[in-house]
């Protein structure tokens, strides 16, 4: 979010005209490192499209979408022009707020300015301001009036007790943007005040954005603390804004008229009694908004210009709303509505002008408000939701497989599977866009949520794998997420069906998660979409295809968690997917269930005829179509050998991993939360080679404080009992992945501001995390590493912070290093190795950056193989540079657990392999089978091969 800061205000500036003012603003933005010089062209182009004059002496210059690539860092700079600058049409600007943003973040800033641009005029105050603090005071606005209108009254709501009724009141305040998410937790439910006549009062001053009062009544009689509960006031308190209303309420109760509120059947009755804002009984007209980006600055300005041509009050609100609406003549208030495509606008005008004004406004919206618009679906027209996606039929047909064909995919879960094919096709579900009524649609949604929650509970009870139970527990939490349901309920108010409102909100929430840098965290978006599809199927009565009882090989484009319901290890011999990578849900589920699997095998597998016999080797990533009898016999023999090998590996899992010629390799575990540590140690981990700290931050509504983080890190260190802990500092990025850390959208988030780049923009959060880590050590071995380091300046800045804090919080056994994930870091490893204590190679990202292949790409992900010689060369360079300076190197990516990769990583000199807990025993056993000298020769030969496929074949033949 863009914040107003006194340090960013440049007082007493002068400019001859708007062009000069923009040039001066451009110089300031460039000098402060927010934008490149080319951003000035965007400022000028934006003014050419339409003036950015906001009103009351304020303009908000910002660039065009075409110049967003000129923005380095999101921010604002304010120029004060006491003599004023002519912004055109006689409009004088005393304050220009220059915005540098890569997305539509300025809309949020406009919403914050709305209250400042209320009834009063700021022009004179801005002109006479003498200090930045005076400017901030003006922009913060005068004390606000209490918000109390039809949007904040809800009568006859479904609630079973006092707490639920209070939550309904909080939702109204949230929807009216009166409170922030923390308001609900701050309400002292145990200190509710009875007013008489079954009316109760609750209030809080915490997490309040603007003062507001909500009033809710239950649909049926309730009791609270032994007294009737017929109505509840929930106050978001700020200053004295509520005093006048409170006096009026007290007088009403003294007069014995409380039942007028508790038994009210319309919000107008409540508002008239309390002196709230009552909607005017004026002529109105409704029209759907078709603009792709909703009512943003340019179309909103067209509306204001039309409205200003009429002498009289014209207001607008969302259809179905009981609010008084906002003035169509106020650009800032139009923007604060946040209306988006598909919502219906309702215009209300004073009777003398309604006959001319309303048709003019409706016609302007229908014509697009100066923008090209795509028609909206007709009311009731069916929309389609695809339950799963897959490559087009043409791609499947072109890549069709035949008997005897051999396919190489990504080894996802070890084991050999033999069985007939079952290709599961995606489901396409039709559903209506519009619903019967908000009440009925919410009831339908709640019934579906409850049913799916119960179904998932059954799956949890029946599941034997902890990792799958964790996935489904997360799904249940999503179904019970009050914020998610609340947002859906808001969408229902615009007339959407339960299906449409649910899927729109799921898509919005998932998109926020999909920009996350860490692939394991991005899986939360896949979880969310999977939950969304399951609920949609329940709403529409669509049932999943039934699987046969005989053992088979399941073939899909990608396996979602909800498909686990049919993944009985006794019936599913193997899993084969066209898309996905080693970190996809298909791979995770298959490994958890112990089912052999190959992922990323290409679209041809989707064209296999039902019951075609397959031979699948999940360790080598090899698939054979319609194998011969001899091939089947060899496969069965090898399967027996592997099963015995696994049994022996488990027996010796606590023993160290040492090659036959005495070369030791440390085997550690990758974990995402403290609770996973005991299992990792029991599986034979010699330490934690990667603790992902993102979940600590994602599980809180605000940045976790030092005490919260320190408790989590201590749990890990205590469970390790003296074994080393390698911690990766916060590694997030993308479009608002954390609710308390908004970030601009990026066209290519994997090449944007993330990892250490992002942490250094918020040194306060990074310092808190480092303090928590250092304080938790207590003499135990702690290793801190920074992610996504691409140049030495990033490293030195981060390391300097550690050294400064280390004076205050000394740690006896501390090492500080970096992750090698960017090719540039590997290429300058000889320089970095002089300063770091260790390197840890993240092969997942290093592979995708080196090969320029997104590891989540639907068709290319199968080619993102870390055994490509280019990736191996970068690993070798890193190890050589580190060892030259006496530093150690680990590998914490998926490659570390790849049976064909282990000999090469050992041969290249990697000192530590960090893998998932269940892979530890087999990786240790693999190392013990090797000869270090032979692995060194093997690695050098592999570097001379042309591609990953050739490397895999070469290692399989010689090792």
Q: Which residues are catalytic?
A: 62, 296, 585, 892
Residue 684 CB partners (closer than 8 Å, separation 6+): 653, 654, 655, 667, 920, 921, 924
Mapped onto helix, strand or coil, the DSSP state of residue 373 is coil
Q: Between β-strands 622-625 and 613-617, what pairing exists: parallel, antiparallel or unpaired?
A: antiparallel
d(CA 374, CA 342): 11
At a CB cut-off of 8 Å and minimum separation 6, what does 123 contact? 56, 57, 92, 94
Contacts of 437 (CB under 8 A, 6+ apart): none
Give the contacts of 7 (CB within 8 A, at least 6 positions apart).
Answer: 132
Return the bridge partners of 304, or none: none
620 neighbors 411 (Cβ within 8 angstroms): yes
Q: Which is nearest to 820 in space by CA: 799, 791, 796? A: 791
CA angle 781, 920, 924 (to 5 degrees): 95
How far apart are alpha carbons 110 and 104 in whole angstroms? 11
Residues paired with 615 in a beta bridge = 418, 624
Residues in the chain, total: 959
Quote the CA–CA distance of 922 and 44 in Å, as a whole number.
Answer: 63
Tokens of 176: 């009216």
Side-chain-side CA neighbours of 755 within 13 Å: the count stands at: 24
d(CA 58, CA 870): 55
DSSP letters, 608-671, are PPTT-EEEEETTTTEEEES--HHHHHHHHHHHHHHHHHHHHHHHTTTS-EE-TTS-EEEEEEEE
DSSP secondary-structure letter at 89? Answer: T
Alpha-carbon gap, residue 193 to 171, rounded angstroms? 20
Distance (Å, whole) CA 485 – CA 470: 22
Rounded CA separation 895/598 (Å): 15
CB 115 within 8 A of CB 144: yes
The DSSP line for 844-888 is HHHHHHHHT--TT-TTTGGG--TTSHHHHHHHHHHHHHHHHTT-E
Q: Which of 538, 590, 555 is nearest to 569 (CA)?
A: 590
Residue pair 315/348 in contact (Cβ under 8 Å)? The answer is yes
């Amino acid at each position: 979010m863009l914040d107003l800061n006194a340090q960013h205000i440049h007082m007493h500036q002068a400019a001859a005209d708007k062009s000069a003012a923009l040039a001066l603003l451009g110089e300031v933005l460039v000098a402060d490192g927010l934008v490149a010089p080319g951003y000035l062209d965007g400022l000028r182009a934006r003014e050419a499209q339409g003036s950015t004059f906001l009103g009351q002496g304020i303009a908000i210059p910002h660039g065009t979408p075409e110049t967003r690539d000129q923005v380095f860092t999101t921010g604002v700079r304010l120029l004060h022009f006491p003599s004023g600058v002519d912004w055109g049409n006689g409009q004088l600007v005393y304050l220009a707020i220059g915005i540098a943003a890569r997305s539509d973040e300025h809309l949020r800033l406009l919403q914050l300015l709305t209250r400042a641009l209320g009834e009063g005029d700021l022009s004179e105050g801005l002109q006479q301001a003498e200090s930045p603090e005076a400017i901030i005071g003006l922009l913060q606005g005068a004390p606000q009036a209490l918000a109390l209108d039809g949007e904040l009254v809800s009568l006859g709501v479904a609630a079973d007790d006092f707490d639920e009724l209070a939550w309904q009141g909080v939702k109204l305040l949230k929807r009216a943007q009166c409170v922030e998410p923390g308001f609900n937790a701050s309400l002292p439910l145990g200190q509710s005040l009875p007013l008489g006549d079954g009316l109760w009062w609750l209030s809080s001053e915490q997490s309040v954005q603007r003062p507001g009062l909500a009033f809710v009544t239950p649909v049926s009689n309730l009791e609270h603390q032994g007294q009737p509960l017929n109505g509840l006031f929930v106050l978001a308190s700020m200053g004295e804004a509520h005093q006048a209303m409170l006096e009026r309420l007290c007088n009403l109760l003294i007069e014995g008229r409380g039942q007028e509120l508790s038994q009210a059947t319309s919000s107008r009755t409540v508002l008239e009694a309390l002196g709230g804002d009552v909607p005017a009984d004026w002529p109105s007209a409704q029209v759907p908004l078709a603009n792709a980006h909703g009512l943003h600055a340019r179309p909103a300005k067209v509306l204001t210009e039309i409205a200003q041509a009429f002498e009289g009050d014209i207001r607008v609100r969302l259809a179905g709303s009981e609010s008084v609406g906002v003035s169509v003549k106020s650009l800032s208030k139009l923007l604060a509505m946040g209306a988006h495509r598909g919502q219906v606008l309702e215009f209300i005008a004073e009777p003398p002008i309604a006959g001319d004004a309303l048709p003019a406004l409706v016609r302007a919206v229908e014509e697009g408000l100066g923008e090209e618009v795509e028609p909206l679906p007709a009311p009731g027209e069916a929309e389609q939701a695809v339950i799963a996606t897959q490559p087009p039929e043409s791609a499947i047909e072109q890549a069709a497989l035949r008997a005897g064909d051999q396919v190489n995919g990504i080894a996802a879960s070890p084991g050999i599977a033999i069985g007939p094919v079952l290709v599961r096709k995606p489901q396409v579900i039709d559903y209506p866009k519009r619903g019967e009524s908000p009440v009925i649609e919410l009831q339908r949604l709640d019934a579906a949520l409850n049913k799916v929650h119960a179904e998932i509970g059954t799956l949890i009870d029946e599941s034997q794998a902890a990792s799958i139970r964790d996935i489904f527990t997360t799904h249940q939490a999503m179904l019970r997420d009050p914020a998610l349901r609340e947002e859906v309920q808001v969408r229902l108010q615009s007339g959407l069906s339960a299906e449409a409102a649910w899927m729109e909100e799921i898509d919005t929430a998932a998109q926020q998660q999909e920009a996350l840098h860490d692939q394991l965290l991005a899986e939360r978006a896949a979880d969310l979409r999977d939950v969304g599809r399951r609920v949609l199927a329940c709403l529409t009565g669509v049932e999943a295809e039934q699987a046969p009882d005989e053992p088979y090989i399941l073939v899909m484009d990608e396996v979602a968690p909800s498909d686990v319901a049919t993944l009985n290890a006794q019936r599913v011999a193997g899993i084969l997917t066209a898309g996905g990578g080693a970190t996809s849900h298909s791979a995770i589920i298959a490994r958890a269930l112990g089912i052999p699997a190959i992922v990323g095998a290409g679209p041809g597998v989707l064209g296999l005829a039902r019951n075609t016999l397959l031979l699948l080797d999940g360790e080598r990533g090899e698939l054979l179509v319609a194998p011969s009898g001899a091939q089947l016999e060899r496969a069965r023999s090898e399967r027996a050998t592997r099963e015995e090998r696994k049994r022996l590996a488990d027996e010796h899992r606590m023993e160290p991993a040492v090659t036959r010629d005495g070369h030791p390799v440390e085997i550690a575990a990758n974990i995402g939360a403290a609770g996973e540590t005991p299992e990792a140690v029991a599986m034979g981990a010699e330490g934690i080679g990667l603790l992902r700290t993102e979940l600590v931050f994602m599980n809180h509504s605000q940045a976790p404080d030092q005490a919260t983080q320190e408790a989590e890190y201590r749990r890990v260190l205590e469970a390790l009992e003296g074994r080393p802990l390698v911690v990766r500092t916060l590694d997030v990025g993308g479009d608002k992945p954390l609710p308390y850390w908004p970030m601009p959208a990026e066209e290519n988030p994997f090449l944007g501001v993330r990892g250490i780049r992002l942490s250094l923009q918020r040194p306060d959060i990074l310092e808190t995390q480092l303090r928590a880590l250092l304080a938790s050590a207590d003499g135990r071995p702690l290793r801190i590493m920074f992610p996504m380091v691409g140049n030495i300046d990033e490293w030195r800045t981060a390391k300097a912070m550690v050294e400064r804090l280390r004076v205050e919080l000394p740690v006896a056994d501390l090492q500080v290093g970096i992750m090698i994930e960017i090719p540039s870091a590997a290429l300058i490893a000889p320089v970095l190795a002089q300063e770091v204590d260790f390197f840890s190679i993240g092969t997942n990202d290093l592979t995708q950056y080196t090969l320029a292949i997104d590891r989540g790409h639907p068709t290319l992900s199968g080619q993102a193989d870390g055994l490509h010689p280019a990736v191996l060369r970068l690993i070798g360079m890193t190890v050589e540079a580190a060892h030259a300076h006496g530093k150690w190197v680990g590998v914490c990516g998926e490659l570390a657990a790849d049976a064909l990769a282990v000999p090469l990583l050992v041969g290249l000199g990697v000192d530590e392999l960090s893998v998932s807990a269940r892979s530890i025993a087999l990786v240790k056993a693999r190392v013990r089978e090797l000869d270090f000298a032979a692995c060194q020769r093997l690695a050098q030969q592999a570097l001379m091969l042309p591609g990953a496929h050739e490397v895999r074949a070469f290692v399989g033949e010689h090792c």
